[in-house]
A and B are shown apart, each in its own frame.
Chain A
C-alpha cells in the first residue's frame, strides 16, 4: 500500500473499522511519514475544537423535559375541538351526508320534475282545448272550448 492509499485510510483510524492487515500497514507507515503524522495530529485538534463534548446539567435537562411536556399537552391533537377523533366521528359522516344530498338534489330530482314542468302541462292542455277571443264593448274576452275529438 503506497502513501496515497494509506492517507485514504488514515483518518478511519479514529473510527476503528480498519482490518488487522490495514492497521499494521498504517502503523508501519506512520513512523516514516511526517505528512501522515501531521494529518492525524491536525485532525485531533480540529475535532476537539469543532466538536467539543456537550455537557448538560441535570437541572437544565429537567427543565427541557418540562418544556417538551408542556408543549405536548398544549398542542395535543386529541384535546383540540377539530381533532382527529372529532373529524372521524362527526365531520366525515356530516360531509358524506351532505355530498349524498347534493347528488340526489342535482342528479335525481331534475329528471322527476320534467313530468310536471310548465311546458309539458301547456302542451297537453293546448292539444285538448281550442282557444278563442271575442270583443264585447272594447273588452277582449278569452274563451276556450274542448277540441272536436276531446272526450272528457
Chain B
C-alpha cells in the first residue's frame, strides 16, 4: 500500500491498486517458484501494476517540466521552503506526484523502491529484473535528473536549515 501511494501519490488510486495487487498475487500463487523472496515477487507485481496505472493515467495527462514550472512553480518552491507555511499533507502528496511524473517511469520506480521502500540494490535488481550495475547506474541518473529538475526551486538556506 505504501509503495502504491509513493508511486501513484493518490490515496484512492493507491488503495485500489494495492487491492488489485493482492487479488492478482493470490490468483498467481501457483506461478511463484521461490527463485526470489516472496516480498520481492510481490514488489514485482506491484511495480508492474503501478506502471500500468501510470501509463493509463499518462494517456489522460502528462506533466512536463515546463508545465510544472509554469503552473505549479510557486507551490513547488513552497514545498521546499522552510520559511513557508506548510501545506496540507494531501496537497504536498499531490505536488510530489506531479514532480515525480516529470521523470521517466523507470526512474520513478527505482527511486520509490530505494527511497520510500528502502530496498537494497540486489532486491531492486530482482524486482526490476535487471543487473546490479544497471540498478546503480539507473539510480544515480534518476537522482541526478530529479535534482536538476528541482535545482531552481531549492534555495541554499532551505538546504542547510532543512537538515
* Residues of chain A whose beta carbon lies under 8 Å from any beta carbon of chain B: 8, 11-12, 15, 17, 38-39, 41-52, 54, 56, 64, 67-68, 71-72, 75, 77
Contacts and interface: CB of A to CB of B under 8 A. Distances in A.
A56 B92 CA distance: 17
B163 A54 contact: no
B159 A50 contact: no
19 contacts: A11-B140, A11-B143, A15-B120, A15-B139, A41-B162, A42-B147, A44-B162, A48-B162, A49-B79, A50-B100, A51-B96, A51-B112, A51-B115, A54-B1, A56-B1, A71-B19, A71-B23, A75-B23, A77-B27
The dominant DSSP class at the B interface is helix
Contacts of B19: 64, 67-68, 71
In which size bucket is the chain B interface?
35 or more
Contacts of B99: 50
Contacts of B1: 54, 56, 64
Q: Is the contact region of chain A dominated by helix, strand, or loop, or is it mixed?
A: helix
A54 B6 contact: yes
Nearest to B18: A64
A68 B24 CA distance: 11
B115 A56 contact: no
Nearest to A63: B15
